[in-house]
Chain A
Amino acid sequence: MADIELSYGGGNSEKLDFEETELRLGLPGAGGQKAGNGGAGKRGYEETVDLKLNLAAKEIAPMNLGKDQKKLLPRPDDSVKPPAKAQMVGWPPVRSFRKNIMAVQKNGDTEENEKGSGGVGAAFVKVSMDGAPYLRKVDLKMYKTYQELSDALGKMFGSFTMGKCDTQGMMDFMNESKLMDLLNSSDYVPTYEDKDGDWMLVGDVPWEMFVDPCKRLRIMKGTEAKGLAPKAMEKCKSRR
């Protein structure tokens, strides 16, 4: 039985062309693609996800990708540029376990290490997005607010938003109609699995109280997340 694993292969460029070997980023139609190249050459992960999901344009808190987009376009004077490191999935090829250990050591701050689960400094959780073929991992301890997390997830998964956060950084769950609007739209909402194994909507508790119970993140369509809302509201009420 063949034991061949392929990952984003494709394209059959004939000549040695350094540009071909670059991993490009940017939304579909952005300047980074060659004309007529279609799906050949390397596709950045974001592009793959976007093509499959056909995400609608955002109205609530649109992602400010303007300046990021410019940073991601290749500069004309670079000759041999490595594939953009931040987006090279799985390179260098180091096991997640080892990556986690390194992240812990780099924290260095022993106080930080004592807080949180089991004395380990990093808090890597898996993030999945419905429709995307691959999971990612984020270290929740790298962020201080929901907005930072939202930005990071946005970069990873293309045009996705977490909706409005009020000044305290908590979503307004007590206002049912606002919540229902969000859940009825085609926007994606982030949800998370907490220590009890329940799936909750992200944003119901202050950030500091979110990091520890959060075991896993899942970005799902608003309409699918509807079933979670009543539970989320109950838990929310019982906390107040």
Chain B
Amino acid sequence: MRLCHSMMNYFPEEVLEHVFDFLTSHRDRNAVSLVCKSWYSVERLSREKVFIGNCYAINPERLIARFPRVRSLTLKGKPHFADFNLVPHDWGGYVYPWIDAMAKCGINLEELRLKRMVVSDESLELLAKSFPNFKALVLVSCEGFTTDGLAAIASNCRFLRELDLQENDVDDRKGQWLSCFPDTCTSLVSLNFACLKGEVNMAALERLIARCPNLKSLRLNHSVPLDALQKILVQAPQLIDLGTGSFVHDPDSEICNKLKNVLQKCTSIRSLSGFLDVNSRCLPSIYPVCTNLTSLNLSYAPEIFSIELIKLIRHCKKLERLWILDTIGDKGLVVVAATCKELQELRVFPSDLNGMGNAEVTEVGLVAISAGCPKLNSLLYFCQQMTNAALVTVAKNCPNFIRFRLCTLNPTIPDAMTNQPLDEGFGAIVRSCKGLKRLSVSGLLTDQVFLYIGMYAEQLEMLSIAFAGNSDKGMLYVLNGCKKLKKLEIRDSPFGDVALLADTGKYQTM
């Protein structure tokens, strides 16, 4: 044994570094750095991609001290519940100190990915001016900046490949940020500005797209009309991922026909989204790309009636990911089940957020999907009602769930047939899906469901609970049982200090 260990230590560092290069997951690299001092040292000096799941877990100086060669940084700020206004507004999550520290230490930053952080125009300006090789900016659910900050990025980042803005709250300053991309900018591979509220200069947009031959992903905002889309696609037939802007036009016009023709030439498109405003009668224009589509997001288009959705879906036999609104109804989900045999991820969002609505999505749709789509492993399902029997069936049909998030519109609704809590149904899910990593429960639930979760959900890493449980016992079952739990979010549930403080030692691993 000892001989073996000494032999490992005689590997020159370059060899170790080369071996570590094959480790792409940050968890693997973290594990490797714990083996011994020399591995820690080699690993830290060669790590280029760093992931920080909680921006307050460590300070920027410490990051730089440990990983001086970091080139790509991912930071997450506010907790998930912030998306639903459940976190005080001054919680924090500011990115400026990170950019400032890295700029001062001469870090060669190339990529920055932020989620739920506060990003000021000042930080974007500092970012744009401090890192000459900066290539990729991805902002998800962030806030605090305006289009002026984007203008700074466009003007200064000469080698920008990726500008990806997903669901951010951005103030529009009515400047011409898109026109700030210089004529020399030809490196864009991904441009997503779907979340911006303001207008962009169409001519500048068309010119930008025409001079970026490597553009693979383009997501427009609602201000880009259908006729502009058609012109843009003529310039970018190589696109793989397309997010349309406004999809409204006179369906009998020449434009819709032209669009259909140009889409026929876009043979690489595999992912479609947008439809931020849509005239359903224009939808047939996109049928040409439906045959090869693997990802479809129609969840921003409540105007599309169920019947049109169904017609569209029938063309999409290769779909692996579908995000849709509950306007599709159980009937539509039955069609999905019959058509999309490759489906892996399904998200059904609520269309009526004020009342309990006209939603016709119930347990029936879910059972149909589970029966028709054996590869299903990721689910987010907002529904009017649920039953234990349905969940038991789903658990049997789809034992491969990795993510199972169920959200009943009435958060404490019992089994629609028996009026019992939904404990048994969720129990079946955790018992059957041995690889389950993320679970969100809803409906009427007692401590019993948490007993099941604690007993069976061995791989569970994230659990979301709302309006559930009776007593501290519920929480104790989970904390004692789920060994791999990393994230726990609880609201409006009766768990007190006794439960939450019972095993504080556990929290170190979370």
A residues neighboring B (CB under 8 Å): 1-16, 18, 20-21, 23, 42, 80, 82-83, 85, 88-99, 101-102, 105-106, 117-120, 126, 128, 133-137, 215
Contacts and interface: CB of A to CB of B under 8 A. Distances in A.
A10 B498 CA distance: 11
Given A99-B353, A118-B223, A5 B85 contact: no
Contacts of B300: 98, 101, 105
B224 to A, nearest CB: 11
A89 B412 contact: no
A106 B354 CA distance: 11
A185 to B, nearest CB: 26
B34 interface: no
22 contacts: A2-B507, A3-B54, A3-B486, A7-B81, A7-B86, A7-B490, A10-B496, A13-B471, A15-B470, A16-B446, A16-B470, A80-B413, A82-B356, A83-B411, A89-B85, A92-B382, A95-B141, A96-B83, A98-B300, A102-B353, A105-B277, A105-B302
Nearest to A80: B414
A9 B495 contact: yes
B231 interface: no
B494 interface: yes
A126 B510 CA distance: 33
Nearest to B301: A105
Determine the main DSSP class of B at the interface with A.
loop
Contacts of B471: 12-14
B132 interface: no
Nearest to B473: A14
Contacts of A8: 491-492
A45 B507 CA distance: 29
Q: Secondary structure at chain A's binding surface: helix, strand, loop or mixed?
A: loop
B23 interface: no
A126 B89 contact: yes
Nearest to A136: B85
B10 interface: no
A82 B410 contact: yes
- With a 10 A CB-CB cut-off, give which of A7, A10, A13, A18 has the most chain B CB atoms: A7
B125 interface: no
Given A1-B57, A3-B54, A91 B466 contact: yes
B121 interface: no
Contact of B89 (A89, A94, A101, A135): A135
A90 B494 contact: no
A94 to B, nearest CB: 6
Contacts of B53: 3
Given A1-B507, A118-B197, A135-B85, A95 B412 contact: no
A120 B172 CA distance: 11
Nearest to A3: B487
B88 interface: yes
B489 A89 contact: no
B472 interface: yes
A95 B84 contact: yes
Interface residues of B, number: 73
A20 B414 CA distance: 15
B492 A5 contact: no
B351 interface: yes
Nearest to A15: B470
A94 B498 CA distance: 31
Interface in B42-93: 53-54, 57, 79-81, 83-89
Given A1-B57, A135-B89, A95 B167 contact: yes
Contacts of A4: 488-490, 500, 507, 510
Contacts of A99: 353
Contacts of B507: 1-2, 4
Contacts of B495: 9
A118 B466 contact: no
Interface in B158-197: 167-169, 171-172, 195, 197
B90 to A, nearest CB: 9
Interface string B469-488: 01110000000000000111
Nearest to A137: B85
A20 B299 CA distance: 35
Contacts of A85: 354-356
Given A12-B494, A83-B411, A117 B500 contact: no
A9 B88 contact: no
Contacts of A6: 490-491, 500
Contact of B492 (A18, A42, A105): A42
A97 B167 contact: yes
Contacts of A9: 490-496
Nearest to B464: A93
Nearest to B486: A3
Contact of A119 (B223, B349, B444): B223
A89 B490 contact: no
A67 to B, nearest CB: 21
Contact of B83 (A15, A42, A88, A93): A93
Contact of A120 (B168, B197, B354, B493): B197
